[in-house]
Each structure stands twice: as structure tokens, then as C-alpha cells.
């Protein structure tokens, strides 16, 4: 697998980045947190998806990217002569994943699942094996020497994949324990089947006896039901007679009640008739009050008219006085407005003169401003020339007579003093001109201030005149309004005076009005009484008709009541006989109910017994199944025991094969990276490295720190090569992440030099580090730089070393 190009869009800290991977030793440098590791992490993510990410998919997309922007990584690589392109994306607000794989420009897989499965198949390894094969970190190198033997074996087992076998052994042993536990538990549930069969036979005999009792009880119940049916038929006839008796009794009671109500209504109507007859003399006595009431009412209406006229005359008198006062005030205000309006023409003339003066003042102010600006610029220019001449003079004095003229490039020599005198004279002349310009500037500034004061004074006077003129315009509008109001007020006054005269001189007397009202009130009471008496007398004819109808209804009700009493006598119903028959029926019902309860109890016992027999039969079947399960569990336990031994033997066999192969490959790498200085080494059972020097074996503690780091690096590279070979993958690149740790400069250079000797094994060696001083020892450099907006960019330099 050979890396060609990586393209990033909104991935982690990178908004846009494109990296082409050259062959040789490639350095990736940058500050901590800039995104160095994100570059190589993107390689794993585009291949295997979110499983390899160190965070959730929401954090993979660049912070600050809008929901509509896509997070995308594209990787181009070559393997076995074919060109591969993998594309992986996160889209939309929910960061929905998508992926695709192209081989030689043709699509081979689309979708996250299909792409990941084809990547696994193509590379021959899952994401864990990929990371172990292609990525090596400093903490893994330290573990190879600093950990105790048990911990070191654990780390190496994880890297080599041996921990999977250990996990399988652990799972098999757990399954074996679970199987044994289940076997012992199942044996505890097994009982004697012969004993169960014996219990079933006893229950079947008991069931036969119950069936006989049920037959006898059913016969007794049928007899009781037949006797109850005969009693019920006879009782039903008696019940019908009782219902007729009750119905006739209710009808008699109703008729007697209606008869009583009719008698009471006849008595009440007779009493009302007598009262009406006594009202005829009273009606004749109250009849004159009707005419008196009409006469009084007409007199009161006339008094109301007089009262209204008096109120209107008073209102008109008030209106006349108010309009006379208003006319007097408006005429005085009109005279004052006419006096003010006489001044308007003079004010308008003053405004014209002020406008001319203001224009003239603006012109004077503009001229002073221009002169002030002119002399200010002249003073600034002269001051700049003085500074320039002073610097030139200082420069000449510092260089002395031997200095060279910057114009003709000749030495100053004997002209030095003359040149100095010339510069001094020029400076004095410029100083004099500067003072003159400053005086002129100050004079024009004063003129400019005076012109401003005069302009502001005229402007304020103009504003005052304009305000006064505006007030006069408002006064003219008020005058016009007053003239219209005066005309209307005069007209209104004339109308009010005319109306007052038309009201006449007739006088309203309140005392007479009150006496008439009191007399009307007394007469109205008598009138109301007369009307009530008259209304009652009118009801006499209807009342006499009602009395005749009530007497006829009383006669009819009496006849119906007598007929109902006769029918009740003919029925001959006996309540005592009905009660005796009812008690007999209830006693027979109780006997029948007891027979039913007895039958139900027997059926329940039969059902319970049937359930017990069924339970015993199920227990027999369950015990037969338990015995079958015990046989299956015993067989499974034997297989698990055998599988445990096979896996343990396979682990020992695998370790026995891996350690020599790992030792040979590490030895070959050390020899290559040290130019043959150390050509022999071995790994003991604890994976402790021993190196031969002059035919003698030594532990790593004898060697320098750089040699120790080199040996650990070779062991780690050997692990990656073995895993890649086992997967059948062409191995041509390796990523080393922060492998230098806190080593000094010499040890870093030694490791870099040793890595250069591995080009025949690795076409691409990628170093990730935050240390800048390696950039002179690598063949290509990728520098990750943080931008002010928080994003990062990648700058690449080729042939750097």
C-alpha cells in the first residue's frame, strides 16, 4: 500500500487541505493542537469510518462550518499495481455518513457499509490491525523497555493480536463454567418418574369416583328443577290476580282523590261568586273618580308646559349675556392683532438686509480660511525643509571633510566648511520665513474667528426676525378666525333675543303645580281600585260556567269510583294465600340452588383433580426432557474442555512461532539501521531484547539511550511488518507519531539516520512531531500552521534536507 494524495474539506481544524505524499522520510511538524495527528487520523477515518475516530462524528466536522457544508476526506493510494480512491463524507445537519470506493477510476462500492466491507477485504485486516501495522507511537516504544515483564507481554500480545486468543480462551472457560453450573442445577430438578406414574394412577381412580357422584347430583338437580317449574306455573296465575288487585286499588284511590279535589274546587268557586256579587255597590261608588282623574291630568299637562317655558327663558337669558361678553372680548383682541400686523412689512425688509450681510460675511470667512490654510501649509513645508537640512548638516559633520558628496560622489575636502556655512545660511533663511508664515497664519486665524462671530450674530438676529414673522402669520390667521366668529356671534345674539321675546310673559306657579300633582295621586288610587273591581265583576259569567262543569265532573267521578269498588269485590284476591305460596316457592328455589352448588363443587373438584393429573404428566415429560438436557450438557462440557486445551496449546504454539520470527525480523532491521554494527540479537520468553556484541550477549541496559530507542523502534517495526504479512498486504509506508520523546539532538539525528537506511523496506516513512529541529534531516516537510480564525493549513516543502 503506497500513499499518493490526501484531500481534506472541513475535517477537524482543516477547512481545505491537499497533501501529496512523496517517497522517503517525510516530516509533519507543527505546534501541539495544530492538527498534525489529524492528518494521519484522516487516513484511517476515510478507510474505516467512525470506528477509528477519537471522538463522536459531530466533532469530526470542522467547528464553524455551516450545516449545508460537507465534511469530506479523499485518499488516493496504490496497491498491487491498482490505483484506489476512497471518499468518505458527513452531510447535513445530522451529519449523515456516505462513502465510495473507486479502483482505476471505476466505482466498486457505494455507501458506508459496502465501502467498509470492501476495504476490509482489500486490505485483509480490520481497523485495529491497520492501526497496529501502520502507526507507531512513543508510548508503545517506551512500553517495550520500561514495563515489567508481565505488562510488557500484555502490550506485545495486544499489538500482535495474541490477546484475541487469550480472550477466546477466557470466553471458552466461562462457557465451560456456565455449562457445569447449568448441569448441576438441572440435575437438582430431576425426580423419580416411577413415583410420578404411581401418583397419576391414584388420581385417576379418585377421578372415576367423582364422576359417579356427579351423575347422582345431576339427577337430584333435575327433579328439584321439575318440582320448581310446576310451583312456578301455579304461582304465576296467583301473581297475575295480585297485579289486577293492586291496579284496581290504585284506580279507586285515584278516583277518590279526584272526587275530593272536585268538591274542594266547587266550594272555592261558590265563595268567589259570593265575593263578586258584593262588589257591584262598590263599583257604583268609585265610578265618579274616573272623570275627575281626566280633568286633573289635563291641568297638570298645562302646568308642565308653563314650567318648560320658564326654563327656556332662563337658558336664553344666560346665552344672551354670554354672547354679549364674548363679542366684547373678541373686539378687543381684534384691535390688538391689527396693531401687531402693522409691523410685518418692516420685519420683511430687515430679513432681506440680513441675508445680504450674511452672504458677505461668509465670503470674508471663506477668504480668511483659505489664507489660514495657505500659510499653515507653507509653515509645515518650511519646517520639513529645516528638518531635512538639519539632518544633512548633522550627517556631514559626522562624516567630516573626507566624506563623499551624495550627488557627485566626490570627497568634500576643503569645501567642507563652505558647505557647512551654506547649509547654516539656508537654515537661518528658512527659520525667518517660517516665523513670517506663522505670524501671517495667526493673523488670518484671528480674522477668521472674528468673521465667525459676526456671522453667528447676524444668523441669530435673522432667526429672531423669522420667528417674529412666523408669529405674525399666526396672528393674521387668528384675526381672520376672529372676524368670522364675530359675525357668527352677532347672528347668534340676534336669534337668542328674538326667541326670548317670542316666549311671552305668562307666569309659572310651582305651588299650584304641586297641589294638582298631590290631588291626582289620590284620585289615581281610587281609579285603580275601580278598574280592579270592574275586572273581577267581568269574571262572574266564566265562574258560573266553571261551577256547572265542576258539578257535572263530580257526578261522573262518583259513578266511576263505585264501578271500580264493585270490580275489586268480584276479584276475591287473598294476600295471605299469596304470601304462603310465595314462601313455598322460595323454599323450593333454595333446595334447587343447594343442588346446583353441590354439582358445581363436584365439577370443581373434578377440574382440580384433572389439573393435578395434567401437572404430574407434565412433570414426567419435563423430567424426560431434563434427562435429555443433562446428556447434551455433559457432551457440551466435554467439547468445551477439549476446546480449552486446544486453544491453550495453539497459544503456546503461536507464541513459539511468533517470537523467533519477530526476533529474526527485529535482528534484520537492527542490522540494516546500524549498517551491520549489531547483526545478532534475540528475544527471551519475556520479550526482553538481548544484543550480541563481539559474540557476547548483553541486555539493553548496557547500551546508550539512542541505541536502546533504536532497538525498541526495530521491534515495533517488526511487529507491524509481521501483522501486514499475515494479512497479505503490500507494506510500503509507516507512520511514527512523536517517537523522539525528550531525547537530545544527537539521539534524534541517530534515529533519523537509521530510519534513512530502511528505504529498501519502506518507500514512505512519515514522522509526526512538534520538534522543529528535525526539518533539516527529512527529505520532505509538511508544516501544519494555525490560522488566526482557528483553522489550520498545510504547507509542503520538497527536497528540504
Strands 780-786 and 24-29: parallel
The average pLDDT across 230-245 equals: 78
- Name the DSSP class of 758: T
State the average pLDDT over residues 126-147: 66
User: Residues 6 or more apart from 575 whose CB is under 8 A from it?
Assistant: 242
Mean pLDDT of the 71-86 span: 93
Residue 407 has pLDDT above 70, yes or no: no
- Structural contact between residues 16 and 84, judged by C-beta atoms closer than 8 angstroms: no
pTM (global) more than 0.75:
no
pLDDT of residue 675: 77
Rounded Cα distance, 35 and 403, in Å: 58
Phi-psi region of 35 (alpha: psi -120 to 50; beta: other; left: phi over 0): left
Cα 46 from Cα 119, distance rounded (Å): 10
pLDDT of 409 higher than 60: no
| Strands of the 792-798 sheet, one edge to the other | 106-110, 96-103, 82-91, 71-79, 2-11, 14-20, 792-798, 780-786, 24-29, 764-769, 733-737, 135-137
* Mean pLDDT, rounded, for 374-394: 86
Q: Which of the four pLDDT bands, split at 50, 70 and 90, describes residue 107? A: very high
520 or 21, which is more confident: 21
The pLDDT value recorded for residue 72 is 95
Please give the mean pLDDT across all residues of the chain: 81
Burial of 748 (0-12, 13-18, 19+ CB in 10 A): buried
Q: Which residues, 6 or more positions from 265, have their beta carbon under 8 angstroms from its beta carbon?
A: 550
Query: CB within 8 A of 783, min separation 6: which ones?
Result: 29, 30, 775, 794, 795, 796, 797
Q: Quote the CA–CA distance of 423 and 396 in Å, as a whole number.
A: 10
Residue 34 has pLDDT above 80, yes or no: yes
CA dihedral 323, 328, 329, 332 (to 10 degrees): 150
Percent share of the chain, pLDDT over 70: 91
Taking the CA atoms of 404, 405, 411 and 417 in sequence, report the sign of the dihedral they define: negative
**Averaged pLDDT, 94-115:** 93
pLDDT at 141: 61
**Rounded Cα gap, residues 285 and 423, in angstroms:** 150
Mean pLDDT of 383-410: 72
**Residue 327 grid cell:** 363679542
| Residue 103, H or E segment | strand 96-103
What letter would DSSP give residue 62? P
For residue range 611-656, what is the model confidence (pLDDT) as tens digits? Answer: 888 888 888 888 878 788 888 888 888 888 898 888 887 777 766 6
Give the pLDDT of residue 78: 92
Q: Would you say residue 116 has pLDDT above 80?
A: yes
Least confident span in 133-147, 260-274, 413-427, 510-524: 133-147
Q: Which tens digits make up the pLDDT trace of 497-519?
A: 787 777 777 777 778 878 878 88
Beta partners for residue 402, in sequence order: none
pLDDT of res. 712: 79
Looking at residues 393-409, what average pLDDT do you find?
66
The larger pLDDT score, comparing residue 269 to residue 415, is at 269
Alpha helices in 87-192 (DSSP H): 112-123, 127-134, 138-146, 149-160, 162-189
What ranges do the domains of the chain cover? 215-278+541-573, 346-477
Mean pLDDT of 469-495: 83
Model confidence at 288: pLDDT above 60:
yes
What percent of the chain is modeled with pLDDT above 90? 8
State the cell numbers at 274. Answer: 259570593
Q: Which of 229-238, 361-370, 738-747 has the highest mean pLDDT?
A: 361-370
pLDDT at site 64:
85
Angstrom distances, CA of residue 21 to CA of 18, 26, 182, 324, 457: 10, 8, 59, 111, 81
Would the pLDDT of 7 be above 90? Answer: yes
pLDDT level of residue 152 (50, 70, 90 thresholds): low
User: Which pLDDT tens digit goes with each residue over 184-195?
Assistant: 887 777 777 788
pLDDT at 90 over 80: yes
Lowest mean pLDDT, pick from 1-15, 548-562, 700-714? 700-714
Sign of CA dihedral 56, 61, 64, 68: negative
What is the C-alpha separation between 200 and 195, in angstroms, rounded? 9
pLDDT category at 801 given cuts 50, 70, 90 is very low
3-state secondary structure 671-706: HHHCCCCCCCEEECCCCCEEEEECCEEEEHHHCCHH
pLDDT recorded at residue 4: 92
Sequence-distant (6+) residues with CB within 8 A of 360 are: none
Is the domain defined by 346-477 classed in CATH 1.10.287? Answer: yes
Say how far apart CA 377 and CA 796 lie, in whole Å. 53
Give the chain's count of helices (H) and strands (E): 17, 15
Residue 734 above 50 pLDDT?
Answer: yes
Amino acid at each position: 500500500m503506497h500513499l499518493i494524495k490526501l484531500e481534506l474539506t472541513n475535517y477537524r481544524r482543516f477547512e481545505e487541505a491537499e497533501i501529496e505524499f512523496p517517497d522517503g522520510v517525510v516530516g509533519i511538524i507543527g505546534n501541539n493542537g495544530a492538527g498534525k495527528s489529524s492528518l494521519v487520523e484522516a487516513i484511517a477515518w476515510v478507510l474505516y469510518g467512525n470506528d477509528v475516530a477519537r471522538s463522536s462524528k459531530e466533532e469530526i466536522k470542522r467547528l464553524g462550518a455551516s450545516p449545508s457544508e460537507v465534511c469530506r476526506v479523499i485518499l488516493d493510494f496504490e496497491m498491487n499495481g491498482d490505483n484506489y480512491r476512497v471518499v468518505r463524507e458527513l452531510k447535513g445537519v445530522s451529519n449523515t455518513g456516505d462513502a465510495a470506493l473507486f479502483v482505476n477510476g471505476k466505482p466498486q462500492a457505494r455507501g458506508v457499509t459496502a465501502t467498509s466491507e470492501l476495504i476490509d477485504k482489500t486490505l485483509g485486516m480490520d481497523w485495529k490491525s491497520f492501526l497496529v501495522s501502520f502507526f507507531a507511537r512513543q508510548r508503545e516504544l517506551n512500553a517495550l523497555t520500561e514495563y515489567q515483564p508481565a505488562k510488557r507481554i500484555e502490550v506485545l500480545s495486544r499489538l500482535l493480536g495474541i490477546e484475541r486468543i487469550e480472550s477466546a480462551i477466557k470466553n471458552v472457560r466461562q462457557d465451560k463454567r456456565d455449562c457445569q453450573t447449568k448441569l448441576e442445577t438441572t440435575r437438582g430438578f430431576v425426580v423419580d418418574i416411577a413415583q410420578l406414574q404411581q401418583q397419576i394412577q391414584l388420581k385417576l381412580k379418585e377421578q372415576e369416583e367423582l364422576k359417579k357422584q356427579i351423575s347422582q347430583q345431576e339427577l337430584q338437580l333435575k327433579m328439584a328443577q321439575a318440582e320448581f317449574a310446576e310451583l312456578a306455573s301455579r304461582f304465576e296465575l296467583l301473581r297475575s290476580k295480585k297485579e289486577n288487585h293492586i291496579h284496581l286499588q290504585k284506580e279507586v284511590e285515584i278516583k277518590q282523590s279526584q272526587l275530593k279535589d272536585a268538591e274542594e274546587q266547587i266550594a272555592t268557586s261558590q265563595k268567589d261568586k259570593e265575593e263578586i256579587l258584593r262588589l257591584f255597590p262598590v263599583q257604583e261608588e268609585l265610578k265618579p273618580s274616573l272623570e275627575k282623574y281626566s280633568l286633573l291630568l289635563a291641568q297638570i299637562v298645562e302646568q308642565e308646559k308653563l314650567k318648560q317655558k320658564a326654563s327656556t327663558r332662563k337658558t336664553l337669558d344666560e346665552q344672551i349675556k354670554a354672547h354679549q361678553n364674548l363679542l366684547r372680548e373678541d373686539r378687543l383682541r381684534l384691535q390688538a392683532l391689527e396693531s401687531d400686523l402693522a409691523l410685518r412689512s418692516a420685519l420683511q425688509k430687515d430679513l432681506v438686509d440680513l441675508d445680504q450681510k450674511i452672504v458677505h460675511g461668509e465670503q470674508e470667512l471663506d477668504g480668511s480660511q483659505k489664507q489660514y490654510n495657505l500659510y499653515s501649509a507653507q509653515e509645515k513645508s518650511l519646517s520639513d525643509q529645516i528638518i531635512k537640512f538639519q539632518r544633512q548638516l548633522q550627517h556631514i559633520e559626522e562624516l567630516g571633510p573626507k566624506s563623499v558628496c551624495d550627488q557627485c560622489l566626490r570627497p568634500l575636502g576643503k569645501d567642507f566648511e563652505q558647505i557647512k556655512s551654506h547649509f547654516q545660511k539656508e537654515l537661518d533663511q528658512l527659520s525667518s520665513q517660517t516665523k513670517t508664515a506663522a505670524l501671517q497664519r495667526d493673523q488670518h486665524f484671528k480674522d477668521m474667528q472674528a468673521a465667525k462671530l459676526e456671522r453667528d450674530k447676524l444668523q441669530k438676529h435673522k432667526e429672531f426676525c423669522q420667528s417674529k414673522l412666523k408669529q405674525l402669520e399666526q396672528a393674521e390667521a387668528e384675526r381672520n378666525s376672529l372676524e368670522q366668529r364675530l359675525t357668527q356671534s352677532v347672528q347668534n345674539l340676534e336669534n337668542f333675543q328674538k326667541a326670548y321675546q317670542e316666549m311671552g310673559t305668562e307666569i309659572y306657579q310651582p305651588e299650584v303645580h304641586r297641589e294638582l300633582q298631590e290631588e291626582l295621586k289620590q284620585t289615581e288610587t281610587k281609579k285603580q281600585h275601580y278598574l280592579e273591581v270592574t275586572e273581577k265583576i267581568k269574571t262572574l259569567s266564566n265562574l258560573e260556567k266553571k261551577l256547572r262543569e265542576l258539578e257535572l265532573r263530580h257526578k261522573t267521578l262518583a259513578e266511576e269510583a263505585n264501578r271500580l269498588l264493585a270490580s275489586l269485590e268480584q276479584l276475591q284476591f287473598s294476600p295471605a294465600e299469596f304470601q304462603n305460596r310465595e314462601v313455598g316457592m322460595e323454599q323450593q328455589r333454595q333446595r334447587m340452588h343447594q343442588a346446583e352448588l353441590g354439582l358445581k363443587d363436584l365439577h370443581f373438584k373434578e377440574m382440580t383433580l384433572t389439573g393435578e393429573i395434567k401437572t404430574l404428566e407434565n412433570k414426567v415429560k419435563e423430567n424426560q426432557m431434563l434427562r435429555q438436557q443433562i446428556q447434551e450438557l455433559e457432551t457440551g462440557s466435554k467439547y468445551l474442555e477439549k476446546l480449552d486445551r486446544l486453544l491453550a496449546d495453539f497459544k503456546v504454539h503461536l507464541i513459539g512461532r511468533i517470537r523467533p520470527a519477530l526476533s529474526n525480523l527485529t535482528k534484520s532491521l537492527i542490522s540494516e539501521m546500524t549498517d551491520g554494527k549489531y547483526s545478532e540479537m534475540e528475544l527471551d520468553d519475556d520479550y526482553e531484547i538481548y544484543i550480541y556484541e563481539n559474540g557476547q550477549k548483553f541486555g539493553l541496559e548496557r547500551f546508550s539511550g539512542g541505541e536502546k530507542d533504536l532497538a525498541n523502534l526495530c521491534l515495533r517495526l517488526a511487529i507491524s511488518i509481521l501483522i501486514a504479512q499475515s494479512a497479505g498486504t503490500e507494506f510500503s509506508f509507516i507512520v511514527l507519531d512523536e517517537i523522539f520523546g525528550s531525547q537530545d539532538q544527537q539521539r534524534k539525528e541517530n534515529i533519523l539516520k537509521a530510519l534513512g537506511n530502511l528505504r529498501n523496506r519502506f518507500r514512505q516513512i512519515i514522522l509526526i512531531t512538534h520538534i522543529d529541529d528535525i526539518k533539516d534531516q527529512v527529505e520532505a516537510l509538511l508544516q501544519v500552521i494555525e490560522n488566526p480564525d482557528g483553522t489550520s493549513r498545510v504547507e509542503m516543502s520538497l527536497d528540504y534536507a
